[in-house]
Structure 1
């Protein structure tokens, strides 16, 4: 299950488990569409630091890219920025593959720590005149 913390809205933090499943991804994107995009623009942190080596295989990367593409209009309108917490070169490679398959129009960056990722997202919200916590 992908945990979502919206306690600091419009900063949203999603934490991936060590080995997410297709159902986890589907549920995560369904929740974004149902619960968060209707609330307005936001910046998101995706914390992938707990991913195990091989925990996000090619099929999941393709599926993730398909979900980003399916909801591209919502992301283009609602996503101010997206930061990824990535701790290994392998994880960076996985993110690069997803970005190649589903290019984006919003700023995306990766960071080694959640604190830096959150700070950058808060800066992006401020640049867009969106009040943050």
Structure 2
């Protein structure tokens, strides 16, 4: 099974927060709007947040704790997959590569609340990045 590699690297001078000018031109599509990627297998590099209210992946160079953060990808792990949930929790605030499939978890005509976007990544694996 092949994966698209979607990564973003910023220099210190390019680091921004959501209150500054939009970074849409350099932010990978998967963080802006993953709908066009539905069904695709991907590998996405970013900062993982795995807390009660924030289970998302954010592009490098952005602040995942900024309440107005718009560049993100919901990280979707099944409730019964406690091993993968523990892995995600252990990598909270870390730069990781998440491999999985882009999906819309809501049934037709319904919406998901509590995640940063309606389309997310159904996780197959989470790996730390090599430094």
Instruction: State if a TM-score over 0.5 links the two structures.
Output: no
Quick check: which one's helix share is greater?
Answer: 1
**Please, what TM-score do these two structures have when normalized by structure 2?**
0.32
More strand per residue? 2
Q: TM-score, structure 1 length as denominator?
A: 0.31
